[in-house]
Amino acid sequence: MGSLAVSRLAVDDVLPSASVADQVADIARKNLAPLATTIDEGTVYPDELLRRLGDVGAWGSHQPVNGAADLRCAIQSIAALGEVCGATAFMAWCQNTLVWYASNSDNPKLVAKFADKFGSGQILGGTGLSNPMKSFFGIEKLKLRGRKVEGGYIVKGALPWVSNLGPDHYFGTIFEREDGGGIVMFLADCSDPAITLQPCKPFLAMDGTGTYGVQFRDVFVPDELILAEPAGPFVKKIRAGFILLQAGMALGLIKDCIQIMDEVDGQLGHVNRYLPQQPVQFRELHAEFEKETMALARDPYNADDSYWRRVVALRLRAGDASVAAAHAAMLHCGARGYLKSHRAQRRLREAYFVAIVTPATKQLRKMLAGDEH
Ligand SMILES: Cc1cc2nc3c(=O)[nH]c(=O)nc-3n(C[C@H](O)[C@H](O)[C@H](O)COP(=O)(O)OP(=O)(O)OC[C@H]3O[C@@H](n4cnc5c(N)ncnc54)[C@H](O)[C@@H]3O)c2cc1C
């Protein structure tokens, strides 16, 4: 499996921290590839590998410097992992998103305590923003509620799925103040005894991602864990990065689906050429997505509405293309890909996750239709 090498990027300048993405690709090929099946089966949550990726800088490249941030290296790193294992690409997105929240916070105590520990992978974790993201677009109500007390809030409620978690992990999420004072974004500390991680029923894929249902039973959230209050303007600041980082999952997966199609071309090309979708089309699509992603990823704080619509449109197309590429890979492989031992069927299951993780295809379509609440 080839890496998404910098020399092949369709960008007009040199990617910063290029060596980070190359090192991540190297770890993906050498260390992640042998684990991909066990992660998919849910028998392994690869925390050691995630920390190792932190050691080579995989989680720190997108931290803002002097008010500017560049997501390109982080996305290329997620793509390199996604070429090998969609579940690990998703965990990489979770970790990168956690870093993105902490390093953009205006709470100096929180930044000092957590930004570098998340950025280096010393502390792992993720994000519980699916419910809030859906609530902003009128799809569901906020599931967490907070009551103001001296030095912080008392939070209760439950989130059905949060990934890349473990007993000492953190994640960023949002509660609504019970007194009508708006929404607050905070870090949840999974080691708090008032927070319970409940194992989920087995999924179609993504079982090795440390995904749990999370219960908050009157959790005290001190001021030092508040990411943003009010959360509204902060969400506007981080939302493009949240979505753009997901493009890495799609880029890696589509690339491997092209490789799967290429691998069977020698034996089956004589008949596969009658299929309507060919690797060449997905190569073009991949190049186009990569170019658009890299262009948008250089400017994640752009507040223009036209920029936001480009981000949302790219995300929608990336989900559709992931499913289409994995579907085409299945048809090209035939019975070979129908074997449980072949990765084509894993790629198909992973592709559906790209299309359903928040913002899901249906939400993206609602957003583009302009139905923001
Ligand atoms: C493997 C996996 C990992 C995920 N990781 C995260 C994460 O790290 N952070 C995060 O914020 N979100 C996570 N999610 C949620 C994900 O981002 C989406 O929100 C979810 O897939 C549903 O999105 P949707 O827009 O299709 O909503 P829908 O499926 O249309 O509706 C979702 C709502 O329906 C209800 N619902 C439907 N099925 C069930 C069920 N089986 N159990 C309980 N309630 C149900 C719930 O109220 C839920 O909020 C994860 C989901 C999965 C499957």
Which of ligand 1's atoms lies nearest the C-alpha of 160? 43
> Domain boundary residue among 185, 208, 231?
231
**Residue 19 within a domain:** yes
Q: What is the CATH number of the domain that holds 264?
A: 1.20.140.10
**Residue 102 within a domain:** yes
Residues present in the chain in total: 373
**Residue 1 within a domain:** no
Residues ≥6 apart with Cβ < 8 Å to 108: none
Q: Are residue 248 and residue 360 in the same domain, yes or no?
A: yes
Q: Are residue 254 and residue 222 in the same domain, yes or no?
A: no
Q: Are residue 182 and residue 115 in the same domain, yes or no?
A: no
**Residue 197 within a domain:** yes
Ligand 1, CB cutoff 6 Å, lining residues: 94, 126-130, 134, 140, 160-163, 203, 206, 211, 356-358, 360, 363
The count of structural domains within the chain is 3
Report pLDDT digits (tens) over 110-140: 999 999 999 999 999 999 999 999 999 999 9
Which residue has its alpha carbon closest to ligand 1 atom 4? 161
> Domain boundary residue among 231, 256, 286?
231
* Residue range of the domain that includes 61: 6-119
Q: Are residue 59 and residue 184 in the same domain, yes or no?
A: no
In this structure, which amino acid lies at residue 316? L
Q: Are residue 98 and residue 28 in the same domain, yes or no?
A: yes
Specify the pairing of strand 144-149 against strand 152-162. Answer: antiparallel
For residue 206, how far is its CA from the centre of ligand 1 (angstroms)?
13
**Residue 373 within a domain:** no
Q: Are residue 206 and residue 314 in the same domain, yes or no?
A: no
Q: What is the CATH number of the domain that holds 46?
A: 1.10.540.10
Q: What is the CATH number of the domain that holds 173?
A: 2.40.110.10
Contact in structure between 86 and 92 (CB atoms under 8 Å): no
**Is 51 exposed, middle or buried (CB count within 10 Å of its CB: 0-12, 13-18, 19+)?**
middle
Taking Cα atoms as reference points, which of 318, 364, 293, 339 lies closest to residue 37? 339
Which residue has its alpha carbon closest to ligand 1 atom 12? 130
- pLDDT tens for each residue of the chain, 373 residues long: 333 333 334 344 445 556 999 999 999 999 999 999 999 999 999 999 999 999 999 999 999 999 999 999 999 999 999 999 999 999 999 999 999 999 999 999 999 999 999 999 999 999 999 999 999 999 999 999 999 999 999 999 999 999 999 999 999 999 999 999 999 999 999 999 999 999 999 999 999 999 999 999 999 999 999 999 999 999 999 999 999 999 999 999 999 999 999 999 999 999 999 999 999 999 999 999 999 999 999 999 999 999 999 999 999 999 999 999 999 999 999 999 999 999 999 999 999 999 999 999 999 999 999 855 4
Q: Are residue 154 and residue 175 in the same domain, yes or no?
A: yes
Q: Are residue 180 and residue 214 in the same domain, yes or no?
A: yes
